[in-house]
Amino acid sequence: MTAHGAIAILAIPLLAAALLAVLPGYRMTARLNMLATLLTLLAALSLLFVRPEPGPYLLVDDLNIVFIVLTTFVAFTTSVFSASYIGHEIESGRLTPSFLRFYHAMYQVLMFAMNLALVANNIGLMWVAIELATLTTVLMVGIYRTHEALEAAWKYFILGSVGIALALFGTILIYMAALPVIGEGLDAMVWTVLVTRAASFDPALLNVAFVFLLLGYGTKVGLAPLHAWLPDAHAEGPTPISAVLSGLLLNVALYALLRFKILLAVNPDAVAPGPLLVTMGLISLIFASFMLYRRRDIKRMFAYSSIEHMGIIAFAFGMGGPLANFAGLLHMTMHSLTKSAIFFAAGHISQVKGTQRMADMGGLTETHPVLGWGLVLGVVAIAGLPPLGIFMSEFLLVTSTFARQPLLAVLLVFGILLGFGALLLRLNAVAFGEPRGASADAKASYVPMFTHLALVFMAGIYLPPPLVAWFQNVAKLLG
């Protein structure tokens, strides 16, 4: 079968980036950015029907297609939100037209890098793509050129570089483990070849490699204690980039970890990667839940919420088994949709109030009812209240864990309830009570935010059987 769809999801963003770098006028570039991401989404959807044969460089299978469709969908809705959001940034003088050309071009380079990481069949190519995605977001986090934004970008660059260097070392060790079995050359880095021969690899080398890969890609996933870059990057970058970072880039790094987890599972003498993921997941969940109580900046608070939820997802995949893996996939999908919707709301609010400080935001449901209730819905969804999609995934994970490891289930529920309390406490101060702070009209589009929330609400009530069958199949692949 042809690989047109897989090539299209790489070629469209790359061509769009080249065009956007030279086109003047923010309205035209914003529309082209939306069109390019829409075409990429359509190309991704075509992969559901026409699956190309795996080659030495590109692979489309049941696992990565979940990530590809989710990534391209959220990228498209974020580009719609970004078009109106960025217009306000131009009017308020925070960005100049030349910065905006750079911003839109970088947005498409980021889409290219994330899609390449997801479809790469070569573990070296996947590493290069994740490194490119990191460097692109570093540039975008610092785009406002304020002291805080540049400091956040620098911190992200340093910690991201350390992480990616550790991941590179882990990738080299996997290649070295493959050499005696597969021989030199390209085949020793092709994932589809590695996974068929991994049972014969030296387990000691695989174990050391996975530790480096977990630390390296775990930095990108934002797992505690490797998370230090994440709150600053979310708080200081443009809101659409916070939505993409939280909803997509963390998933791409997690996808890389899952690929290597499958590889280790094939070798009977290698260490089980599950307990390591469970431990880091629980640490991230409980640490981030405590940190939520201390936040004063709305975007920084939701950055810690992302660390909490990536911890839950890592815990789910660490537990393994059909039900926990299914819960992990569902939670990842719901988190991407919900968290990006929350960042859309946070972006609107910071433009309306002229600040990100929660102390200056009271009474939003009175002053801006649509925006205020949109935020309430988003927080209720991310806190895991029924009947929304995150409740469904957390319920499945807790029941699966309780059946196998009751003590771990208690810790998991403790972390979830701790985060739940913090979010509702903060929401009460921002959405209700006496109106506080400045007030202006919101210019950005509400459509992306409510589209995401509608999907999350629907998923909590009814999951279509084809989607359930698809996720069950991927859960089996993950072992």
Is there a domain that residue 19 lies in?
A: no
* Integer angstrom CA distances of residue 445 from 80, 341, 371: 8, 12, 11
pLDDT digit string, tens, across residues 11-23: 999 999 999 888 8
Is there a domain that residue 385 lies in?
A: yes
Residue 1: the pLDDT is 39
pLDDT digit string, tens, across residues 29-83: 888 999 999 999 999 999 888 888 878 888 888 888 989 999 999 999 999 998 8
Lowest mean per-residue pLDDT among 289-293, 356-360, 455-459:
356-360
Lowest mean per-residue pLDDT among 40-54, 211-225, 376-390, 436-450:
436-450
Q: Taking a C-beta distance cutoff of 8 angstroms, is the pair 214, 276 a contact?
A: yes
Is there a domain that residue 436 lies in?
A: yes
Q: Measured between alpha carbons, how far is 81 from 94 in angstroms, rounded to an integer?
A: 17
Residue 443: the pLDDT is 67
Residues whose CB is less than 8 angstroms from the CB of residue 265 and which lie 6 or more positions away in sequence, other chains included: 272, 273, 479
For residue 307, give its domain range: 273-479
pLDDT at 177 over 70: yes
| Chain position carrying tokens 């980039």 | 241
pLDDT at 445 over 90: no
Is there a domain that residue 21 lies in?
A: no
Q: 102: which 2 tokens?
A: 């750079």
pLDDT at 84 over 90: no
Q: 140: which 2 tokens?
A: 């975008």
pLDDT at 101 over 90: no
Residue 442: the pLDDT is 63
- On average, the pLDDT of the chain sits at 88
Q: Indicate the number of domains in the chain.
A: 1
Is there a domain that residue 301 lies in?
A: yes
Closest CA to 350 of 246, 240, 428: 240
Is there a domain that residue 446 lies in?
A: yes
More confident residue, 4 or 321: 321
Residue 236: the pLDDT is 86
pLDDT at 403 over 60: yes
Q: 324: which 2 tokens?
A: 């926990």
Residues whose CB is less than 8 angstroms from the CB of residue 469 and which lie 6 or more positions away in sequence, other chains included: none
Averaged pLDDT for residues 147-165: 90
Residue 52: the pLDDT is 80
pLDDT band at 430 (very low <50, low <70, confident <90, very high): confident
Is there a domain that residue 445 lies in?
A: yes
Is there a domain that residue 472 lies in?
A: yes
Residue 333: the pLDDT is 93
Residue 3: the pLDDT is 64
Residue 444: the pLDDT is 66
The amino acid occupying position 228 is: A
pLDDT digit string, tens, across residues 194-250: 989 888 888 999 999 999 999 999 998 888 888 888 888 888 888 888 888 888 889
Q: Measured between alpha carbons, how far is 246 from 333 in angstroms, rounded to an integer?
A: 12
Averaged pLDDT for residues 168-180: 93
More confident residue, 27 or 438: 27
* Measured CA angle at 28 (ends 22, 30), to 5 deg: 95
